[in-house]
Amino acid sequence: MLASLTELADELRRAGLPVSLTESLDAAAALSALPLEHRDDVRAALAATLVKSAAHLPVFETLFDVYFPATVGAGSGPAVEPIGMDAGTDAGPSSSGGAGAGTGEGDGVGLEPGQLAGLVAEALAGGDLRQLRLAAALAVQALAGIEASRPVGVAYYLARTLRQLDLETTLDGLVQAVLARPVDEAPPPGAPRRPPGPLGERLVREEYARRARSLVAAIEAEILRRLVEDRGAAAVAGTVRRPLAEDVDVMHASREQLAELRRALGPLARVLAARLARRRRHHRRGPLDFRHTLRASLSAGGVPIEPKFRSPHPSKPELVVLADISGSVAAFARFTLHLLYALDAQFAKVRSFVFIDEIDEVTGILRAAASLPEAVARMASEANVAGGDGHSDYGRALVAFRSRYADAVGPRSNLLVLGDARNNYHPAEAGVLEELHRRARRVYWLNPEPRAYWGSGDSIVSSYAPFCDGVVECRTLRQLEAFVDALA
């Protein structure tokens, strides 16, 4: 148990969760006070001691199932006998069955396909979670065809099992059976009551859909358990672990990951704002005052025992942001602009400009919009960002910025350029950035591409780099947070 806990903590750290040695010791102390046969209690205790954020719970849940797998059919209580089968039969799976059990599709447990479908339908009709888990184990052993040491993951075997189970047909049959009963007839044990009208049919369908999701989750857990038995927890953990929202590559995020990123932006902005405000509030000392220090040292015979400092003059940085919003780079620019405006109070002034091959100011749009989707929609309809062929042209955008918005950049300004510097082989006009660099306090370029891609193809980041105080790889929220933290 202690070895599994240590491996789980190490894997959580590799996944990006901040798990300290003290928290690992707290987790071990919590386990010593619990009955270890109650798996749900163990899960809750480890989550309470090892996880600090609700956003990190899905990663913990996945890795917990790898290092502390459930036995066949087990929930928080003991396992149950196979559904619809006598206790003495040997058709059910054993709790120690390895990944090699069931080497072909449709065999391995002595059940015909029709029998297995009947057992699954019976489990769905009854709605008992432990019976659903045992039906899932039977389905995996009969249909998944898990092959020892084959380098495929949970998703492959899950799709293979569900394709043969044909849950849609089973669910439709269960729904029709409920709808065929008279409204006033008492339902069988576990079956939903038949409410009248279209709303009643919808409620019945939603109830069976919920049970089906529980069955699918149980099938996935059983496949994971068998793969761990075959390959070991450490080998499986790396294949099933999902990246944290703050480590997702914005340029290649799926729709679900983009939704997670949007949800993570608000809490991230609040934490970062509090950190920056606290740092500025506690920065009470200015530079060393040599004259005052020497004068005070006269009382100690000329020894500067007590250094004196000038009064601090804290200043908030001004930001001027130029963001490429073409193609896949647009997602990165939107998240960056959203985070900067969520931290507006930490900066003296923020002015934002977006471009493709023309440039336009969107400061007012971002401030007036109630949400990020609204701001994006208004930028798409109101901002004048495409004036040529509609492809990124950094040189043309820089020239237009200098001619129309040159007054935006001054000695107190930090100029941020957001984009991959892929210029579609147009002129770079790097001299414009050189001029802006002379006028600004600092110039930074945030590039959402991996550093290894810089300078390849039509990337001209090397033309702009000499006129930047920093060219930063910024593909994830974690990297963006680190940059904004250092900037402010």
More confident residue, 401 or 118: 401
The DSSP bridge partners found for residue 354 are 323, 360
Domain assignment present for residue 353? The answer is yes
Same domain, residue pair 309 and 272? no
Residues 132-165 have pLDDT tens digits of 888 888 888 888 888 777 777 788 888 888 888 8
Write the single-letter amino acid at 226: R
Examine the domain organization and report whether 387 and 474 are in the same domain.
yes
Query: How many angstroms separate the Cα of 356 from the Cα of each of 208, 384, 399?
Result: 49, 9, 13
Residue 476 lies in a domain: yes
pTM of the model: 0.66
> Is residue 217 assigned to a domain?
yes
Last residue in a domain, options 179, 214, 240: 240
Residue 460 confidence (pLDDT) above 90:
yes
* Residue 294 pLDDT greater than 70, yes or no: yes
Domains in the chain: how many in total?
Answer: 4
Q: Are residues 60 and 13 in the same domain?
A: yes
The whole-angstrom separation of Cα 393 and Cα 379 is: 18
Q: What pLDDT does residue 105 have?
A: 41
**How confident is the model over 328-386, as pLDDT tens digits?**
788 888 888 888 777 777 777 888 899 998 999 988 888 887 776 777 778 878 888 88
**Which residue among 299, 314, 329 closes a domain?**
314
Q: Are residues 460 and 348 in the same domain?
A: yes
Share of the chain above pLDDT 90, in %: 18
- Domain hosting residue 410, numbered range: 255-282+317-487
Write out pLDDT tens, residues 77-94: 333 333 333 333 333 333
- Going by their DSSP bridges, the two strands 349-355 and 442-447 should be labelled as unpaired
Q: Which residues pair with 473 in a beta bridge?
A: 447
**In this structure, are 60 and 150 located in the same domain?**
no
Looking at 40, 68, 96, the residue that finishes a domain is 68
189 plus 328 within the same structural domain: no
d(C-alpha 114, C-alpha 169), whole Å: 13
Q: Report the alpha-carbon angle 54-57-63, nearest 5.
A: 165
pLDDT of residue 269: 80
Average pLDDT over the chain, rounded to an integer: 80
Same domain for 129 and 49: no
270 and 406 both lie in a single domain: yes
In a domain, 447, yes or no: yes
3-state secondary structure of 185: coil
Is 450 exposed, middle or buried (CB count within 10 Å of its CB: 0-12, 13-18, 19+)? exposed
Query: How far apart are alpha carbons 161 and 145 in whole angstroms?
Result: 8
| Rounded Cα gap, residues 144 and 98, in angstroms | 13
Please check whether residue 200 is in contact with residue 180, taking contact to mean a CB–CB distance below 8 angstroms: no
Do residues 267 and 226 both lie within one domain?
Answer: no
Same domain, 275 and 294: no
Asked if 173 and 299 sit in the same domain, the reply is: no
In this structure, is residue 106 part of a structural domain?
A: no
Domain contains 78: no
Across the beta sheet with 349-355, what order do the strands follow? 359-361, 349-355, 318-324, 413-418, 442-447, 470-473
What average pLDDT score do residues 253-266 get? 80
pLDDT at 73: 46
Residue at 92 is within a domain: no
| Number of other CB atoms surrounding residue 202 within 10 Å | 11
The reply to whether 146 and 172 lie within a common domain is yes
**Residues written for the chain:** 488
Question: Do the domain assignments include residue 55?
Answer: yes
> What is the predicted pLDDT for the residue at 101?
41
Report the CATH number that the domain containing residue 442 is assigned in CATH.
Answer: 3.40.50.410
